[in-house]
Amino acid sequence: QVQLVESGGGLVQAGGSLRLSCVASGRTLSSYAMGWFRQAPGKEREFVAAISWSGGVTRYADSVKGRFTISRDNAKNTVYLQMNSLKPEDTAVYYCARSLTLSSSYGYWGQGTQVTVSS
């Protein structure tokens, strides 16, 4: 069974950057699409970004397009989310998740990492 562990969250000032990592153990990620989601206090979880198994196709929520970049290193079984120009509204718990394809539902989720952006 796969386990996903996120890291890299923290407290940053508005305009700053963070890079989140999601490492998989128990099974390789190389055959799966991966996504990042976030959930702010009192709000529903929302899609942030996704990447195909090869890394050749990426998708982003409009709210992060141009600021966030998703990437992956299949040799390291790791997916990244580079977050630049952070805004207070990006504050949330960020989760990575695994899916069979970009069009499939996400079946495995990590525990999340907190990102807090101060104004």
Tokens 């090869």, located at residue: 54
pLDDT at 1 over 90: no
Tell me the average pLDDT across 54-83. 97
Model confidence at 30, pLDDT cuts 50, 70, 90, reads confident
Percent of the chain with pLDDT over 90: 88
CA distance 15 to 22: 23
Mean pLDDT of 94-109: 93
**CA-to-CA distance for 92 and 63, rounded, in angstroms?**
14
